[in-house]
Amino acid sequence: MWRYFLAVILTLFFGPGVPGVGHLVIRQYKKAIILILLSIAVVFIMSAYLVSFADLTPLETGVLNFSSMMEFSKKLLADNSDKMFYSNIALAAIWAYALADIIWNAVIAFRSQRNEK
């Protein structure tokens, strides 16, 4: 049972960033890989979507330094904050599913241990 407790704590700690880490702890590797790949896909798709709206003229000047990249990133996120809402909802839904699945698996394991006794 300690494994499920640790899985819940890790899933809560890492949050929507890495939703499959708790499944790795309880040795459900297929679900973990699917959840991690799904969250990576959401981030990748949203990044590609945001860049399609970006004004790339500051980057086309040829002068790339850290401060210009930071300004570009800040402007991109500020201009598209409403679009970021959807990726946050998708990542939160994946995280909520992962957390609920771990808790459900813990309940099933607890019931099966209780029935064996």
Closest among 3, 23, 14 to 98, alpha carbons compared: 23
Polymer length of the chain = 117
CB 12 within 8 A of CB 99: yes
- Distance, in Å, from the CA atom of 3 to the CA atom of 106, rounded to the nearest integer, reads 9
Task: Dig out the tokens for 117 from the structure.
Answer: 């006794």
Q: Which residue has the tokens 């930071």?
A: 70
Helix, strand, coil percent content, the chain, rounded in steps of 5: 85, 0, 15
Task: Dig out the tokens for 77 from the structure.
Answer: 């996120």
Residues 28, 5, 29, CA angle at the centre, nearest 5°? 10
Task: Dig out the tokens for 116 from the structure.
Answer: 């064996």
Taking the model in full, what pTM does it have? Answer: 0.73
Per-residue pLDDT 10s for the chain (117 aa) are: 778 888 888 777 777 667 888 888 888 899 999 998 999 999 899 888 877 766 666 656 666 677 777 877 788 778 877 888 888 898 889 989 998 998 898 898 888 888 886
